Amino acid sequence: MGSPALSQAFNSNWVVGGGGDFHSCKRFQESCLGSVSVGLGADTRFYIGRIRRFRICRSYISRSSKSCAACQDPISSSSRSHPHGYQTAEKESALILMRHGESMWNEKNLFTGCVDVPLTSKGVEEAIEAGKRISNLPLDIIYTSALIRAQMTTMLALTQHRCMKVPTIMHHETEQARTWSQIYSEGTKKQSIPVVKAWQLNERMYGELQGLNKQETAEQYGKEQVHNWRRSYHVRPPNGESLEMCLGRAVTFFKEHIEPQLLSGRHLMVVAHANSLRSIIMYLDKLTSQEVINLELSTGVPMLYIYREGNFIRRGSLVGSSEAGVYAYTESLAAYRQKLDETSKDG
C-alpha cells in the first residue's frame, strides 16, 4: 500500500459549509472547528456519482520517482485552455484560505502580531494534516504573508499535495532578486507552484501588546478591554492596528492581486493569520463589524471558497477522514480529482 501518510490523504474529505447564503459567524465557526452540522445553499451542487469512482484508486504514488506519470500534474499537462493548461467545466476557481499552524507564541499565549516566530511541533503536524486535506484540490498559485509561520505552513502542507509540484518562492523584491531567481526550463516551471510573499497579508500589528501574555494582560487591563483590543473592528491596541486598519491593507491586496488571478481561472491558496484572514473573510462573506467580532479561526484548518461569476461561495472546511465530504466538490474540482486518481492508477 505504500506510504500511510499518503494513503490517508486519499481519505481526506470536506464537510460542506453551505452555499452563498451563509452569513452566520456561529455556523462558520462550527464548520471551521469540525462540526458536521451543515447548511446547504440552494446553489450547492452535488456529484455523488463521482464519489464511488473516487474510492477506486488508492494506490501508492512514488514520491521519489522523478519520471513517473504521477509526477506530472494530470490537468496542467492536458491540452485544454486553462492558464496552466486546462479549462474548468464551468468558469470557476477554487480559493483556499488557511491560518498557519500553531506558533511558538500561540503555545505560550503571547500576543504575536508582526513578531516573526516559527511553528511548534504541533503546528508542524497541523500543517502536514492540512496538506493532506487539500491534497486533491487544484493549486496554481499560493500567497503567503511575509512571516515564517505562514511560510512554514505552506511548505509543509505542499509536501502532501498529489500534484507533486514544487512550491517555489518568488523573489521580486528587487530587479536583481527577480533575475537571480529565474527558472530557465519551461518543463521545470510547469512542475512548480509559485509562492508569492506579501507583507500585506501579515498578522495585524499588535503594537505595545506584542510579546505580552494574553492572560496577564486581561488581569491587568480587564477582560473586556482586552477582548475589545483583540476582536473589535474599530478599536486599536496601544500603538497597533485595528482590524479595520488590517483590512485596509489585506483586502486591498486581495482585490488588486488575488481576485484578478481568480477571475482568470487560477486556483489559489492564501496562507496567512487570524486577523488578516478575519478581515478577508469579512469581505468575502460580507460580514458586518458586529458579526466579525465572533469570528474565530483555528490554526491549520483550510477553508474552501468557490469563485464563480464574481461571487464567492463558501464551501466549508476539511475535517475528519471519511468520503462524505467529497460533496463539497464542484464539477470541475471533482474532474481534477478524478484525473489525479486516473494518473495515480496509471503510475
Annotated binding site for substrate: 99-106, 112-113, 149, 203-206, 214, 230-231
Which residues have C-beta within 8 Å of that of residue 289, sequence separation ≥ 6?
Answer: 232, 233, 234, 244
Decide whether 195 or 277 has the Cβ nearer to ligand 2PG. Answer: 277
In the complex, minimum distance from the CB of residue 113 to ligand 2PG, in angstroms, rounded to a whole number: 5
Site for ligand 2PG in 67-106 (CB under 6 A): 106
Binding residue count for ligand 2PG, defined by CB under 6 A: 9
In the complex, minimum distance from the CB of residue 117 to ligand 2PG, in angstroms, rounded to a whole number: 10
Whether 234 is catalytic: no
In the complex, minimum distance from the CB of residue 240 to ligand 2PG, in angstroms, rounded to a whole number: 10
- Catalytic residue from among 82, 84, 92, 100: 100
All three cell numbers of 80, joined, read 485544454
Cα Rg of the chain, angstroms: 20
Q: Which residue is nearest to ligand 2PG (CB)?
A: 112
Decide whether 136 or 153 has the Cβ nearer to ligand 2PG. Answer: 153
Tell me whether residue 281 is exposed, middle or buried, using C-beta atoms within 10 angstroms of its C-beta: 0 to 12, 13 to 18, 19 or more. buried
What is the sign of the dihedral through the CA atoms of 338, 151, 97 and 140? Answer: negative
Site for ligand 2PG in 196-235 (CB under 6 A): 203, 206, 230
Q: Calculate the dihedral angle through the C-alpha atoms of 306, 312, 318, 324, rounding to the nearest 10 degrees.
A: -60
Decide whether 68 or 218 has the Cβ nearer to ligand 2PG. Answer: 218
Which region, judged by CB under 6 A, interacts with ligand 2PG, from 46-54, 107-115, 260-268, 306-314?
Answer: 107-115
Tell me whether residue 106 is exposed, middle or buried, using C-beta atoms within 10 angstroms of its C-beta: 0 to 12, 13 to 18, 19 or more. buried
Decide whether 104 or 170 has the Cβ nearer to ligand 2PG. Answer: 104
Position 275 contacts ligand 2PG (CB under 6 A): yes
Among 274, 277, 293, 303, binds ligand 2PG (CB under 6 A): 274
In the complex, minimum distance from the CB of residue 96 to ligand 2PG, in angstroms, rounded to a whole number: 20
- Catalytic residue from among 82, 203, 241, 267: 203
Decide whether 72 or 275 has the Cβ nearer to ligand 2PG. Answer: 275
In the complex, minimum distance from the CB of residue 200 to ligand 2PG, in angstroms, rounded to a whole number: 16
In the complex, minimum distance from the CB of residue 292 to ligand 2PG, in angstroms, rounded to a whole number: 12
In the complex, minimum distance from the CB of residue 114 to ligand 2PG, in angstroms, rounded to a whole number: 8
Whether 203 is catalytic: yes
Decide whether 2 or 211 has the Cβ nearer to ligand 2PG. Answer: 211
How many angstroms separate the Cα of 163 from the Cα of each of 53, 72, 152, 186, 327?
19, 7, 19, 17, 21
All three cell numbers of 51, joined, read 464519489
Decide whether 113 or 300 has the Cβ nearer to ligand 2PG. Answer: 113
How far is the first Cα of the chain from the last one, in angstroms, to the nearest whole number?
14
Say if CB 347 and CB 61 are below 8 A apart. yes
- C-alpha 122/C-alpha 119 separation (Å) is 8
Which residues have C-beta within 8 Å of that of residue 64, sequence separation ≥ 6?
Answer: none
For residue 298, which amino acid is it? S
Question: x/- site string to ligand 2PG, residues 133 to 162, per CB under 6 A?
Answer: ------------------------------
Q: Looking at the chain, list the stretches that DSSP marks H as alpha helix, in order from N- to C-terminal side.
A: 4-11, 25-32, 48-56, 104-107, 121-133, 148-158, 175-180, 186-190, 214-221, 223-231, 243-253, 259-263, 274-284, 331-346
- C-alpha 300/C-alpha 284 separation (Å) is 20
Position 337 contacts ligand 2PG (CB under 6 A): no
Site for ligand 2PG in 108-127 (CB under 6 A): 111-113
Residues forming contacts to ligand 2PG in the complex (CB under 6 A) are: 106, 111-113, 203, 206, 230, 274-275
Active-site positions read: 100, 203
